Amino acid sequence: MSENNCPICQAEMAWERRTIEYEREGVPIALKNIWLRVCSECGHELVPGPMGIQLLNFADQLFNSAQQLQAATRLPPPRILFSFPETDVVPEALLPSA
């Protein structure tokens, strides 16, 4: 199986910009304009390894900050939208090394 194939159905995957949504303890976070691989058949989304880990760490930091703000101010939970710049080209750092 090629790295261009879906791990679920083995169909071809292509790069697309999408919004990734997380929610924890009532705090929704949306990360917009994330480049990820999307299966043409089943729609499975795959964030490349190191970038996936960095995005999860980033979301964790946002959750922690939201909890601290909520505890300090007693405000209702925020809805967090973080938008990355739109680009037409997949960032070179995400592409496999030649």
pLDDT confidence tier of residue 49, bands split at 50, 70 and 90: confident
What's the whole-number average pLDDT of the chain?
A: 89
- For residue 93, pLDDT beyond 80: no
How confident is the model at residue 82, as a pLDDT? 92
Closest CA to 46 of 84, 5, 85, 81: 5
First to last CA, the chain: 18
* Predicted TM-score (pTM) above 0.95: no
What are the residue ranges spanned by the domains of the chain?
A: 13-84
DSSP assigned state of 12: B
pLDDT of 98: 56
CA distance linking residue 98 with residue 44, whole number of Å? 25
The average pLDDT across 22-32 equals 91
